[in-house]
């Protein structure tokens, strides 16, 4: 299974790269597959590469769903209902 997730660009760096924020973790990624990315944009990240730009509302909605899923899973782990 492959997973691509939305990340926010915090800083542009040399060589078509950027620093992104992934749930509080900062990581350098490649922007070589996407054009016209600016600080504050959201991109879809997969294995270190931005695949496309993403609308801010869509990115924030997706990240909220991931957070909700994570909270639900944590609750199930805490009460033992996730086997």
Q: Which CATH number fits domain 5-79: 2.30.30.140, 2.60.40.60, 2.40.33.10, 1.10.240.10?
A: 2.30.30.140
Average pLDDT over residues 46-53: 95
| Rg of the Cα atoms in the chain | 15
Task: With beta carbons less than 8 A apart as the criterion, state whether 31 and 43 touch.
Answer: yes
Whether the pLDDT of residue 83 is over 80: the answer is: no
User: pLDDT by residue (tens digit) across 8-36?
Assistant: 999 999 999 999 998 889 999 999 999 99
pTM of the predicted model as reported, rounded to 2 decimal places = 0.81
pLDDT score of 81: 80
- The SS3 assignment for 78 reads helix
Domain coordinates in residue numbering, the chain: 5-79
């Amino acid at each position: 299974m492959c997973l691509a997730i939305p990340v926010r660009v915090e800083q542009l760096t040399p060589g078509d790269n950027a620093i992104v924020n992934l749930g509080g973790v900062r990581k350098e990624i490649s922007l070589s597959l996407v054009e016209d990315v600016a600080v504050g944009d959201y991109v879809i990240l997969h294995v270190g590469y931005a695949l496309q730009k993403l609308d801010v509302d869509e990115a924030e909605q997706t990240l909220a769903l991931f957070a909700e899923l994570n909270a639900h899973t944590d609750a199930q782990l805490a009460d033992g209902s996730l086997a």
